[in-house]
C-alpha cells in the first residue's frame, strides 16, 4: 500500500462518522506509513486529498485516521505536533491542542461547508508549536508566531493564495477577536481595520465564523455563546453606515481628511455605546 492510498482511505473516512475502517486495513496503513517515503507524494497530491477531505461531512476523521496509522506525523507534521501540547484548563477543558483542533473542525463543519474557513480553523493554532515546554500551558503571542508556520505549510503544499491569506488573518487575529470585549474603543477600531472589515465585510463574517469555532471547539463549550461576533458585526455595520453617509459627497483630498477625522470620532462613540450595551448585566 502506498502513502497516496493511505491518504485516499483517510479521505473516504471523512465522508461519514459511521464509516469504519477494518482493523486489517488499518494494519496495512500502519505498515505503509512506517515504510513509506514522502518522496512518493507530490505536494499537489497531498493538497488535493486534504482539500477534498475538508469538503466532507466529517473532515476531522481524515486526521484521526492518519494519526491512528502513524501517517499524520509523516505527511502533516505540524498538525501531528499539536497533539500533546497542553492549554490552560480554565480556557480549554480538553487541555490538548490537537484535540481542540479536531473539536473546532466538528463545530465549523456544522456552521459552514466553506473549505476556506475550515482550512483556517485547521491551522489557526500552529503558533503553539513554538512554545517552549517550560512555558506550558501558556502560549504567549502564539497568534503572531503561527503566521510564518502557516506560510511555510501553505508554500510546501502549494495551497491557493486565497486560502493562505485568509488563514493568516485568522491565525494572526483570532486571539484579539476572542478578547475584543476587553479592548478600549481605539483598540476595537484598530482590530476592525486589521481585519479589513470595512473593505470586505463578507470576508469579515467568515473570520468571525472561524473564531466562533475556536471558542466552541472545547469540551463542554460546543454551544457556548460568542457575543464577540455580534458585537464586532454591530460596530462594523454602524461605522460603515456613518462612513458611507459622511464621505459620500466628498470631492477633494483635503475634505476627505477632515471628514475622516470626524468619522473616526463618531466611530469611537459607536464603539463606546456598543460596549456598554454588551457589557451591561
pLDDT digits (tens, 9 = 90+) for 10-27: 999 999 888 889 999 999
15 within some domain: no
Answer yes or no: is pLDDT of 178 > 70: yes
pLDDT digits (tens, 9 = 90+) for 106-141: 999 999 999 999 999 999 999 999 999 999 999 999
Find out whether 229 and 211 touch, Cβ atoms under 8 Å: yes
188 or 277, which is more confident? 188
| DSSP-assigned letters across all residues of 4-33 | HHHHHHHHHHTT-TT----HHHHHHHHHHH
Per-residue pLDDT band at 58 (split at 50, 70, 90) = very high
Q: Please tell me the distance from the alpha carbon of residue 68 to that of residue 29, in angstroms, as a whole number.
A: 9
63 within some domain: no
Cα 209 to its chain centre, rounded Å, is 9
24 within some domain: no
pTM to 2 decimal places: 0.93
C-alpha cell at 233: 458585526
229 within some domain: yes
Structural domains counted in the chain = 1
pLDDT digits (tens, 9 = 90+) for 222-248: 999 999 999 999 999 999 999 888 877
154 within some domain: yes
Answer yes or no: is pLDDT of 34 > 90: no
Model pLDDT, residue 173 = 98
107 within some domain: yes
Per-residue pLDDT band at 39 (split at 50, 70, 90) = low
- Average pLDDT, whole number, for the chain? 93
Model pLDDT, residue 66 = 96
Boundaries of domain holding 120:
76-279
36 within some domain: no
Model pLDDT, residue 38 = 60
49 within some domain: no
Amino acid at each position: 500500500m502506498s502513502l497516496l492510498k493511505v491518504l485516499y482511505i483517510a479521505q473516504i473516512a471523512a465522508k461519514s462518522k459511521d464509516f469504519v475502517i477494518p482493523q486489517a486495513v488499518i494494519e496495512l496503513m500502519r505498515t505503509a506509513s512506517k515504510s513509506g517515503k514522502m518522496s512518493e507524494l507530490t505536494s499537489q497530491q497531498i493538497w488535493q486529498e486534504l482539500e477534498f477531505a475538508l469538503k466532507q461531512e466529517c473532515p476531522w476523521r481524515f486526521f484521526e485516521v492518519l494519526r491512528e496509522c502513524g501517517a499524520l506525523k509523516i505527511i502533516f507534521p505540524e498538525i501531528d505536533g499539536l497533539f500533546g501540547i497542553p492549554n490552560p484548563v480554565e480556557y480549554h477543558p480538553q487541555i490538548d491542542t490537537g484535540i481542540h483542533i479536531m473539536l473546532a473542525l466538528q463545530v465549523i463543519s456544522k456552521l459552514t461547508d466553506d473549505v476556506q474557513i475550515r482550512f483556517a480553523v485547521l491551522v489557526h493554532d500552529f503558533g503553539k508549536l513554538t512554545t517552549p515546554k517550560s512555558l506550558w500551558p501558556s502560549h504567549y503571542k502564539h497568534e503572531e508566531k503561527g503566521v510564518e508556520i502557516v506560510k511555510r505549510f501553505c508554500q510546501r503544499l502549494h495551497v491557493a493564495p486565497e486560502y493562505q491569506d485568509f488563514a493568516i488573518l485568522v491565525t494572526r487575529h483570532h486571539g484579539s477577536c476572542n478578547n475584543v470585549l476587553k479592548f478600549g474603543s481605539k483598540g476595537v477600531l484598530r482590530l476592525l481595520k486589521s481585519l479589513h472589515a470595512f473593505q470586505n465585510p463578507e470576508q469579515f463574517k467568515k473570520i468571525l465564523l472561524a473564531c466562533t469555532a475556536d471558542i466552541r471547539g472545547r469540551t463542554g463549550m460546543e454551544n457556548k455563546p460568542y457575543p464577540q461576533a455580534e458585537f464586532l458585526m454591530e460596530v462594523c455595520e454602524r461605522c460603515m453606515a456613518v462612513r458611507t453617509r459622511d464621505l459620500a459627497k466628498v470631492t477633494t483630498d483635503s475634505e476627505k481628511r477632515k471628514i475622516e477625522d470626524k468619522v473616526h470620532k463618531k466611530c469611537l462613540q459607536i464603539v463606546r455605546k456598543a460596549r456598554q450595551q454588551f457589557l451591561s448585566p
